[in-house]
């Protein structure tokens, strides 16, 4: 299909909406993109057939089960992510150069060292963007903005016990799926940047729709620490 085709442009908008904001229902997408319900379902069916999107039943808690059939949620596939901008080649090239410089018997350690080096480079670029003296929620918002600029399509939400930074796109998801050290080192870097412990709740590399990092409020951390002593 030609790129100039209006349907192709609309499908690209639908796919990018899911890429940037995470899994969504047909109704939510129709409202967000001002497309008719029939139109959005036609585009979603086409994207599923092309392998760009997939669908699944949403999670239901015990309290919500039995209230009718829930609407399907649409999310990006690995193949769909590949069709958007990524940096797999740059990452793979850097990794190969780094690992090639190490002795063969040090290979497992070299992967971790490379992951740490990449995370430290990310951290160095972010340092000027995050004010360490600012409240934790402001630091979380600044981190999300920085990650978006780095290609991670991120946003932040705040709850009573902490913030959640969601990365809706991962430029290196395929590589991270084979080398989880990349995610581990990145999480450690985020913790250092925010000056507090953080917890990864989900990752695209492990098949989740988004990478979710929980950042507890400092008062919550103190409460938890006090309860353990």
In a domain, 1, yes or no: no
Query: Domain boundary residue among 64, 82, 100?
Result: 82
Contact 77, 51 (CB under 8 A): yes
Element (H, E) at 150: none
Residue 191 scores a pLDDT above 90: yes
Q: What CATH number is given to the structural domain containing 32?
A: 1.10.10.10
- Based on the structure, what is the number of domains in the chain? 2
Are both 61 and 116 inside the same structural domain? no
Q: For 86-140, how does the pLDDT look when each residue is reduced to its tens digit (9 = 90+)?
A: 555 566 656 656 666 665 555 556 778 888 998 999 999 999 999 989 999 999 9
Are both 134 and 45 inside the same structural domain? no
Are both 107 and 39 inside the same structural domain? no
Looking at residue 223, its pLDDT comes to: 42
Spatial separation of the C-alpha atoms in residues 72 and 65, rounded to whole Å: 15
Looking at residue 152, its pLDDT comes to: 85
Are both 148 and 64 inside the same structural domain? no
Summary mean pLDDT of the chain: 81
Query: Domain boundary residue among 82, 101, 120?
Result: 82
More confident residue, 94 or 163: 163
The pairing of strands 211-216 and 73-76 is unpaired
Looking at residue 81, its pLDDT comes to: 78
Q: For 5-33, how does the pLDDT look when each residue is reduced to its tens digit (9 = 90+)?
A: 778 889 988 998 888 777 889 999 999 99
Looking at residue 62, its pLDDT comes to: 45
Are both 97 and 207 inside the same structural domain? yes
Are both 168 and 222 inside the same structural domain? yes
Joined together, the tokens standing for residue 194 give 């925010």
Are both 137 and 107 inside the same structural domain? yes
Q: What CATH number is given to the structural domain containing 143?
A: 3.30.1380
- Could you tell me which residues come within 8 angstroms of residue 112 by beta carbon, excluding any fewer than 6 positions away? 181, 185
Residue 2 scores a pLDDT above 90: no
């Amino acid at each position: 299909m030609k790129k100039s085709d209006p349907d192709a442009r609309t499908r690209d908008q639908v796919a990018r909406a899911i890429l940037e904001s995470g899994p969504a229902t047909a109704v939510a997408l129709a409202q967000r993109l001002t497309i008719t319900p029939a139109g959005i379902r036609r585009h979603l069916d086409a994207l599923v057939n092309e392998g760009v999107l997939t669908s699944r039943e949403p999670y239901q808690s015990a309290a919500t089960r039995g209230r009718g059939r829930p609407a399907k949620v649409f999310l990006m596939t690995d193949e769909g992510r590949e069709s958007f901008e990524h940096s797999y080649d740059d990452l793979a090239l850097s990794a190969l150069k780094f690992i090639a410089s190490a002795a063969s018997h040090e290979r497992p350690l070299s992967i971790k060292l490379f992951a740490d080096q990449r995370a430290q480079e990310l951290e160095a670029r972010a340092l000027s963007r995050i004010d360490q003296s600012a409240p934790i929620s402001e630091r979380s918002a600044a981190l999300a903005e920085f990650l978006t600029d780095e290609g991670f399509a991120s946003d932040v939400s705040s709850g009573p016990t902490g913030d959640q930074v969601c990365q809706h796109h991962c430029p290196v998801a395929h590589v991270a799926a084979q080398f989880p050290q990349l995610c581990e080192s990145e999480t450690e870097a985020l913790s250092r940047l925010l000056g507090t412990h953080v917890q990864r709740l989900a990752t695209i590399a492990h098949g989740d729709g988004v990478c979710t990092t929980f950042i507890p409020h400092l008062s919550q951390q103190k409460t938890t620490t006090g309860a353990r002593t």
